[in-house]
Amino acid sequence: MKKSTKVISIIIIFFFIIAAVIVARTMIGNHFKKKFSKRPPPGIIVSVVQEKLFQNTIETFGTAIAQNSKAYRVQASNINGKINLNFNKMIERKNSVVNQTVKGIDFLMDKNKVTVFKGIGSFKDVNTINISGEKKEEISAKYTIIATGSKPASLSFIKTDKERVITSTEALKLKEIPKHLVIIGGGVIGLELGQVYKRLGSEVSVIEYADRITPVMDSALSRELTKVMKKQKIKFYLSHQVNKVERKGDNVTVTAIDKKGVDVSFEGDYCLVSVGRKPYTDKLNAEAAGVKLTQRGQIEVNDYLQTSASNIYAIGDVVRGAMLAHKAEEEGVMVAETIAGQKPHIDYNLIPNVIYTWPEVAAVGKTEEELKTTGVDYKIGQFPMRALGRSRASGDTDGFIKILADSKTDEVLGVHMIGPRVADLIAEAVVAMEFRASAEDIARMSHSHPTYAEAVKEAALAASDNRPLHI
């Protein structure tokens, strides 16, 4: 064979090898991409991995996905090995985060030269406080701010043994995942904890006295959240009056009367009593300082959060209003500024309320029911998350943004949201309402694309002559 012929033959063979390798890499790459590029099921968190294999990029998405669609799930056949939940590790991490936060507060106290006395404080008189801790102490103060917070409430006929009949305090430090968690109360805390344990594998039943969950929020939010949580297989029993809770061994029986007057019972291994919270004023000895309490144990205050004793103020869960940490924070600043001689102000209508389920729920301002009751002429702008590009991309298509505006002035009166990251989005509504913005003002603002926040703009457009862009 001639030398030139040999060279040509080698070149041809080389190209055949290259072509075979390319085809093989493409086929294998597509196999891996098809196998691993699906989104994980709800509750599974996968680290973000981007690895070049052959000619294709293989990706796993690192988010806790609320999407139930099978199209976005990692199938069991696609996973090598068994996936187990380490519940103890989960609780350990929760404790770690809490401890870090507490240490952060201790650091801030030291940084700002604040002296901390640890123990139970009670009034001796209007200027003197007794502290019973590791050692008994007595301190005097010109001004005092009561910020003792709240504790879980119960019903008079229910004995919370803190083992099987529990409150939210015990629910956050269980040693095992309940098989069937029966929740009394369809409010914020019950729904948040109920969804947590449902995602961990518990059967969850919610018993609510009212005819809907979250009864103080806009009814549209209640309906949507109910629909979403039912899809997640959480069971709801509305208009049910609980009248008995009994524990026998590891089993708890909850008896109630349904809306037809029929006795019904629910069997579970744990019962979470979530019927609200009450002010923690039991050991305050408020009478010694001349501080008046209401029948509910709340401290009476004026518009400046001043108690019946002029040098004593109260803030947070021990006074009227929503029991929210950020509300207490604003009140603390207000009192400090008042004592310093300034003239602060809080608009309680603009304190946002958030439910940390998934999807999240957030609201600020007036509900539609409140506007109807007061006879305000209003208009509605609503935009569904399913029409949003970012929501479709992330698989979080449940929910909507609802804006209520004055029919005559177009001023925004209330904003109600359910969807992904609305706990953050509600801040936009608070800012707008603080400056008494109109729906058109929000509609004319440029919102980044693609973002969840675009839904706010679309809802504002819907409230402004019904002209949303994407529906």
Confirm if 353 and 363 have CB atoms less than 8 A apart: yes
Pull the structure tokens for residue 299: 């401290």
In whole angstroms, give the CA distance from residue 254 to residue 389.
44
Q: What is the pLDDT of residue 64?
A: 40
In whole angstroms, give the CA distance from residue 198 to residue 465.
42
In whole angstroms, give the CA distance from residue 311 to residue 307.
8
In whole angstroms, give the CA distance from residue 448 to residue 390.
11
Q: What is the pLDDT of residue 44?
A: 45
Q: What is the pLDDT of residue 302?
A: 96
Q: What is the pLDDT of residue 24?
A: 62
Total length of the chain? 471
Give 285-322 as a DSSP string: -GGGGT--B-TTSPBP--TT-B-SSTTEEE-GGGSSS-
Confirm if 294 and 278 have CB atoms less than 8 A apart: no
Confirm if 332 and 344 have CB atoms less than 8 A apart: no
Match 């539609």 to its residue by tokens.
Answer: 368
Q: CA separation (Å) from 397 to 62, 174, 240, 268, 401?
A: 18, 32, 31, 32, 12
**Burial (CB count within 10 angstroms: exposed 0-12, middle 13-18, buried 19+), residue 166:** buried
In whole angstroms, give the CA distance from residue 117 to residue 135.
10
In whole angstroms, give the CA distance from residue 265 to residue 244.
9
In order along its 471 residues, the chain shows pLDDT tens digits of 555 565 566 666 666 666 666 666 666 556 555 554 444 444 444 433 333 333 333 333 333 434 444 444 555 566 677 777 889 999 999 999 999 999 999 999 999 999 999 999 999 999 999 999 888 999 999 999 999 999 999 999 999 999 999 999 999 999 999 999 999 999 999 999 999 999 999 999 999 999 999 999 999 999 999 999 999 999 999 999 999 999 999 999 999 999 999 999 999 999 999 999 999 999 999 999 999 999 999 999 999 999 999 999 999 999 999 999 999 999 999 999 999 999 999 999 999 999 999 999 999 999 999 999 999 999 999 999 999 999 999 999 999 999 999 999 999 999 999 999 999 999 999 999 999 999 999 999 999 999 999 999 999 999 987 877 777
Angle CA 406–411–412, to nearest 5: 90
* Residues labelled as active-site residues: 449
